[in-house]
Amino acid sequence: MTVEDTIRAYYETLRRGGQLELYFLEADSTTKFGVSESLFGYDEVADALSEQTETTSEWTVESHNLLVDDHGAYATFADEVTLAWTDTRSGERWHFETRWSGTLERREGAEDEWRFRTMHVSAPQQL
């Protein structure tokens, strides 16, 4: 699977409510910054993603400008993504125009498997 295929598979897994933590590198240096969170280390990332999956539904994930650069052992990406979901506890529907960027690392011993080492998702503030 290419880097781009991996990112698009992540988006599809998010839409379906699947196990997102499987896409992240199991390392203390793994980080994920979301619209309202900062997560450090694989365990923290995995726990937060698991809770997110349990407490949200009806995801919309629309990629608008995915750019990928494969550097061999690692890759970088950036994208503009429309995100929307429903909070299953409150019933509130959330919608954001977001910016994504990060790095992926080729899984050791696997030519075509990639894992996110860093992911940054932000929403621009309206001025």
pTM to 2 decimals? 0.92
Q: What does the pLDDT average to over 55-83?
A: 96
In this prediction, residue 126 carries a pLDDT of 62
Asked if pLDDT for residue 127 goes beyond 70, the answer is no
Position 127 in a domain: no
- Establish if 41 belongs to a structural domain: yes
Measure the CA–CA gap between 66 and 47, rounded to whole angstroms. Answer: 27
Structural domain boundaries enclosing 80: 3-122
- Please give the C-alpha separations between residue 60 and each of 11, 47, 48, 84, 116, in angstroms, as whole numbers: 9, 22, 19, 5, 21
The predicted pLDDT at position 101 comes to 98
Where residue 92 sits, what CATH number does that domain have? 3.10.450.50
Look at residue 46 and tell me if it is in a domain.
Answer: yes
Mean pLDDT, range 112-122, rounded to an integer: 95
Name the nearest CA neighbour of 104 among 21, 23, 19, 45: 23
The average confidence (pLDDT) of the chain is 94
* 110 belongs to a structural domain: yes
Segment 35-58, tens digit of pLDDT: 889 999 999 999 999 999 999 999
Q: Is residue 94 part of a domain?
A: yes
Domains identified in the chain, total number: 1
64: left (phi over 0), alpha (psi -120 to 50) or beta: alpha
- For the stretch 76-87, pLDDT in tens is 999 999 999 999
Write down the pLDDT at residue 6: 97
Provide the pLDDT confidence category of residue 120 given band limits of 50, 70 and 90: very high
| Nearest in space to 119 (alpha carbons), one of 24, 53, 15 | 24
55 within domain boundaries: yes
First and final C-alpha spacing in the chain: 40
Asked if residue 22 is part of any domain, the answer here is: yes
What is the per-residue pLDDT for 73?
A: 92
